[in-house]
Structure 1
Amino acid sequence: MSSPIINDDQWLQLLEYVAETYNDVTLSRGFTYFKQQRVASLIISDARVVQAKVEEEESGNYRVILNLDKPRSSQCSCPVPASCKHMAAVWMELGDRLGYPASQIMNAKMHLKRITSTTSLESTLLQLPKMDVSGWQKFLNHYTSLIKSTYDLGNYVDMLRMQLQNITKITIPFSDMDQIFFDMHQELFILRKLKEQNVQGGVSSYTSFTLYRVYDEIHTWLKQKSPLPNFTIAGVRLEQTLDYIRQQMAEESGHNYQDYGVYTALWKHWVAPDPEASHYVTKEIEALETMTMDSPSPSLSAVKAFLYLQQSRSKEAWEALEENGIFKEAPAKLFIPFLDYLYDTQKWEELVNWLRKSAAFFNRKRTKELDVYADLWTKAIVQLPQAEEHMWTILEELLPYSFRIIEEMLYEQRKWKPWLEMQIIQGHDPLYHRVNVLQPIEKETPKLLLPYYHQAIDHYVSLKNRHDYKLAVRLLKRLDKVYKKMKQTERWEHFFSGFVERHSRLRALQEELRKGKLLG
């Protein structure tokens, strides 16, 4: 707590006096004396005059008189005419006793700069509600300018976030809507800084990981905040934000599509649910058509196509995608917002049409986009069963990347025969799976499991070692249960007796059969 002898304003005046009249060497020496507790006595009179004694090891003691109201008239009995280390030590001791850090006296110039910077920052922060979003971005750029990128971009993002969190320590007169948009622009700012680092340092798998992580975090944030925006109140902020993202897309090259992804996510979670969404579609298409004429970019073309689709202009949407010269090289993620929109709006025939037209772009190693694509197919055929044949044809065309997807679909749809054929092709056997995987087949069509079990048993026996004999016995016991499920115990007994006779010379196998209680 500060003392009434000196208030905060008077302390700042004292710091200004010290910064003007003391050099750094003197303050450093005075701080050393202060830490060594050489200020032996300190008395403050009613006239606001401080009298103190500073001890010297070799020269004895020096008497210091400080005038709180007229610090320039302060005196010391040492040979130095003014602003000596003894006086500095007493100023520090005085501040310490009155609740002010002595370090502020020693670093008076730096502390005053910090205060000035803080005051300027507070003033700027209070102006943020009056700025447009481009002003916000300029402010965020300046506010984080001292944070330098490192090789570890994950650490760079953490440092940016820590710096931005300091803004919350000052109360800004934002409306609820402005606060939401300002929070979003902090996320967009971090994404922009990461992209700048990629351009400067080149893209590696390490930097890409951080970039995609931040990109996913923005998607999650937009989805979480989707119930909050009210564009009746914040329509201008929305238009400014869409314009900002369009400008970012215009600067993108190649097939990055990060800002395109943010734009379509913003549209899906925030704009589309709004009753006035069609109004924004019209305005955005007009702006995009102008921009693509002046500065064509893959992202801008993709967004224009995305908005055409909102107006049920499917053919024009596809043509807008194709108008870009490098469309054939487009990544699969470009199409996900289109497919999601058609699914969300339950336009099933159009969804199937787009799934078929975009299939070639998913013909790459399995990614989450390919999983999403396949999932949308399964959802579409629930509504349009007649499209199932198209789905299987396309998934076959996407082999080998779709192999696991086909396998999973066959299992989910309980198409046991082709599923088992895929297991055999891959060299699997019943022991490859957990028991509960095969249980539905045992229950519904146990007959289909017979070739699977018989082939595996023959294989393990052919290896002719005790370990594999044990595995063969495990399979025989399970096969016994399958025959019982089929109510064909006689068929099992006929098979098993022939099996034992066929392998009667394999003593180790016979022993394992006895241990497994299959032989008496």
Structure 2
Amino acid sequence: MLKLKLPKNRIEFLAAGAERRMKLAVLERGWEYYHRNLVQNVNLVQGYILQADVRGKEIFQVKLDLEQFERSECTCSFNGYCQHMAGLIFWAYSAHGRPELLLMQLKQAINARRRAKAGLKADKAGESAAATLLPELTPKEWARYFEQKFHGYSLSNQHSVEQFHQTVWDTLGGTAEEWPEPLSALYRLHLSLYVLAKIEQFHQDNQSSYLSYYIENGCKLVAASSWDKLKELVQERQAFHQAALQFPKHWKETLEAVSSRLLHARSGPVYWTDVYRFLWWQLFYGAGAEPEAAAERELHRLSLLSAQENIPRAKDGIYLAMSLFDIIRGQDAQAMKRLSELHTRQFSDFYVILEKLSGGGEWERVLSWLRWLLPVLSKAKQEEFNQGCAFWVEAVKHQPTDEEWIRVMLSLLPRSYYYYTDYLMQTGRFRQWVDLQLATGISPASLYTAELHTVEAHDPALLLPLFHQSVEKAVAEKNRDSYKLAIRHLKKLNSLYKQLGKNELWEDYLARLHLKYARLRAFKEELAKGQWAT
């Protein structure tokens, strides 16, 4: 039975290092060393060095660095990452699963990478000729060309998602630079959509891979970069409107390509409903010879889709897409009515709307949507809750009073505590600030010293109930550390009473404190140390 089990992220790190740096023959020999029980005396040194003795023709000492794989070493004469290192990796993996399955995964990844490199190399000779043909092609043919260029591409390590993204733009990004601007803009849009589709595929295909953690993070980073590229295209809105007039076939296929993704409801790094709504609102709506007719045709298509059988999340995507056309036309009430059909209302589904409206300075509409979403916000995940509060913080700046904001923050307590307490401090509402700390039971020891000093400078009397409450709670815990905390807060109370010139009230309070806790011997000892003995 194994006496040492590395965390899963360390195992994934070792497996990724083996796949990147070791040859198939080395991995196969390493598996034999493990299978024949030749990996012995395994230890973890300094928390990040896995070391062992591996028996070959002689005994070799292997060290695997779990933080920087390139620092790993073996005492054998092999130039590079050897079979003895591989044997130790399989030994470590055996605590989590079957090493022969890891060997199989590594083989598949390495072979796929070889095929991808060979395919790219073969394509390179014909790249110039193919590139000259691209302007004559339609978006559907662009998509086929993209797939041909990266056919067989396989993820192989924690950086390969980012490498894929960079390679796509390095290889294909400059192709359309000399094209007419409307066509060039469309081309870059389709290349961004291709990247998003591929990372969705990578994420789906590798969920059970030993690299899943790295792949998921890489997909999120690339998705964010792709969103940035889509947002850059908004600056070229006029070029898209020209494309709708000058290249109607390209435009039609572009709309179809975006619409076809709407029903993709898989959980992953790409939410196609947001992509659809962003592009229609920012680039598509109002383009073409008959813009309203095009919008009506799309709305009719969505209506037909909504009548079909789909999983709930896919149906929600259709309802969100349909409501977008109401919102674009300023018909928010109609959109909200339509959205009453949602199976699940999530605050994050409305980022696109809130960002667009707030960016356009339409704060009354922003507030209308925030009010409608308030029941959702109270139950939202923490990240969504924070985003929702951030929208409220910005919206209140454009209102004549902050009464509604105060009511909303109170209704969302205790989750809204940090937003509300910060706002009260910033607006100088020190009595309400103290009342909030009292209501939530916050100890002065947990508050910023600068905030306490600010309130004290305004009115020392406001802090009296806060420190009185803290003393009572500390004593009630009945342990030596809490008694010491109570004494520290009693010293502060003494100082506050002196500032207010109410020494008699302090003496009276201290006497009643002695009487109330006369049986707590340890507390009375701490009082005596503070020179407040009876």
TM-score (norm 2): 0.60
Paired residue for 1:356, among 362, 371, 387? 371
Q: How does 1:220-259 map to 2 (within 5 A)?
A: 220-224=228-232, 226-227=234-235, 230-231=238-239, 234-235=243-244, 241-252=254-265, 258-259=271-272
CA distance in 2, matches of 1:399, 1:348: 24
Q: How many residue pairs align between the two structures?
A: 396
User: How far apart are 1:192 and its partner, in Å?
Assistant: 0.9
Which residue pairs with 2:300 in the alignment?
A: 290
Residue 453 (structure 1) shift = 0.5
Letter in 1 for 2:295: I
2:220, 2:269 within 8 Å by CA — same for their partners in 1?
no
Match of 2:337 among 316, 319, 344: 319
- State how far apart, in whole Å, the 2-side matches of 1:361 and 1:330 are: 7
Structure 2 residue aligned with 1:454, among 460, 468, 478?
468
| 1:340–1:164 CA distance, 2 compared to 1 (3 A) | closer
Q: Check conservation: 2:120, 2:150, Cα contact below 8 A.
A: no
| Partner residue, 2:127 | 121
Q: Which residue is equivalent to 2:196? A: 191
Output the amino acid matched with 2:330. Answer: S
Give the Cα separation in 1 of the matches to 2:326 and 2:290. 12
Say whether the 8 Å CA contact 1:348–1:383 is kept in structure 2.
Answer: yes
1:260 is aligned to: 273
Residue 452 of structure 2 aligns with an amino acid whose one-letter code is L
Q: Determine whether 1:307 maps to 2:307.
A: no
Would the aligned equivalents of 1:137 and 1:185 in 2 still touch at CA under 8 Å? yes
- Alpha-carbon offset, residue 167 of structure 1: 0.9
CA distance in 2, matches of 1:424, 1:197: 51
Q: Offset of 1:445 from its aligned partner? A: 4.2
C-alpha deviation, 1:191, in angstroms: 1.6
Contact kept in structure 1, 2:155 and 2:202, CA below 8 Å? yes
Q: For the residues of structure 2 that align with 1:378 and 1:162, how far apart are their CA atoms?
A: 37
Select the structure of larger CA radius of gyration.
Answer: 1
Aligned AA for 2:376?
Answer: F
Check the 8 A contact 2:316/2:344 in 1, yes or no: no
Q: 1:270 Cα deviation (Å)?
A: 5.8
Contact kept? 2:323, 2:339, Cα under 8 Å: yes
Shift of 1:431: 0.6
Q: Does the CA contact (< 8 Å) of 1:157 and 1:190 recur in 2?
A: no
Residues 259-280 of structure 1: CA deviation (Å, up to 9, x unaligned)? 22223444666679xxx67989
Aligned position for 2:453: 439
Alignment partner, residue 333 of structure 1? 348
1:148 aligns with 2:154: yes
2:486 alignment partner AA:
A
Task: For residues 226-250 of structure 1, give each alpha carbon's deviation from its aligned partner in whole angstroms, at most 9, with x where no partner exists.
Answer: 4455426555577754442222114
- Judge conservation of contact 1:292–1:300 (CA < 8 Å) in 2: yes
What is the CA-CA distance between 1:370 and the residue it aligns to?
A: 2.3
User: Unpaired runs of 5+ in structure 2?
Assistant: 1-116, 307-314
Alignment partners' CA distance in 2, 1:171 and 1:465: 73
Identity %: 18
Give the AA of the match of 2:197: R
Task: State the shift of 1:312 in Å.
Answer: 1.4
* AA in 1 matched with 2:132: L
Q: Counterparts of 1:487-498 in structure 2 under 5 Å?
A: 487-490=500-503, 494=507, 498=511
- Partner residue of 1:161 out of 157, 161, 165: 165
The 3 A distance-change label for structure 1 pair 333 and 507 is: closer
- Tell me the alpha carbon deviations over residues 428-467 of structure 1, each in whole angstroms, 9 at most, x when there is no partner: 2101122013233223343332111012224435556654
> What is the rounded CA distance, in whole Å, between the counterparts of 1:171 and 1:494 in structure 2?
84
The alpha carbon displacement at 1:492 in A equals 6.5
Q: Give how far 1:288 is off.
A: 1.8
Instruction: Name which of structure 1's ranges 206-215 and 119-128 shifts more when overlaid on structure 2.
Output: 206-215
Given that 1:271 and 1:277 are in contact with CA atoms closer than 8 Å, whether structure 2 keeps it comes out as yes
Structure 1 residue 334, shift from structure 2 partner: 1.6
Take 1:253 and 1:120, find their aligned partners in 2: how far apart are those partners?
36
Any idea what the Cα deviations from partners look like across 1:317-337, whole Å, max 9, x if unmatched?
223434x5xx13132222222
Offset, 1:471 = 2.8
2:261 match: secondary structure? helix
Q: Between 112-121 and 364-373, report the one with greater CA deviation.
A: 112-121
- Pick the aligned partner of 1:137 from 138, 143, 164: 143
The answer for the alignment partner of 2:47 in structure 1 is: none
Write the mapping of 1:366-445 to structure 2, written as runs, cut at 5 A.
366-385=381-400, 388-389=403-404, 402=416, 405-445=419-459
In 2: Cα distance, 1:156 partner to 1:202 partner:
15
**What letter corresponds to residue 192 of structure 1 in structure 2?**
A
State how far apart, in whole Å, the 1-side matches of 2:197 and 2:364 are.
38
Structure 1 alignment gaps of length 5 or more: 1-110
- The CA distance in 2 between the partners of 1:113 and 1:197, in whole Å, is 19
Cα separation, 1, equivalents of 2:452 and 2:288: 51
Deviation at 1:171, TM superposition (A): 6.3
Once the two structures are TM-superposed, the CA of residue 302 in structure 1 deviates from its matched residue by 1.7
1 CA distance for matches of 2:472 and 2:118? 87
Are 1:229 and 1:270, in contact at CA under 8 Å, matched by a contact in 2? yes
Tell me if the contact between 1:461 and 1:472 (Cα under 8 Å) persists in the aligned partners: yes
Aligned residue identity for 2:196? L
Contact 2:323 2:335 in 1 (8 A): yes
CA distance 1:254–1:507, change in 2 (3 Å): closer
Secondary structure in 1 matching 2:442: coil
User: Deviation digits for residues 113-164 of structure 1, max 9, x if unmatched?
Assistant: 98763232222223233333333222222211121246x7x54523422532
RMSD over aligned CA atoms reads 4.4
CA contact (8 A) 1:469 1:512 kept: no
Aligned partner letter, 1:248? R
Is the alpha carbon distance of 1:284 and 1:330 closer, same or farther for their aligned partners in structure 2, counting shifts above 3 Å?
A: farther
- With over 3 angstroms needed to count, the CA separation of the structure-2 counterparts of 1:510 and 1:359, relative to structure 1, is closer
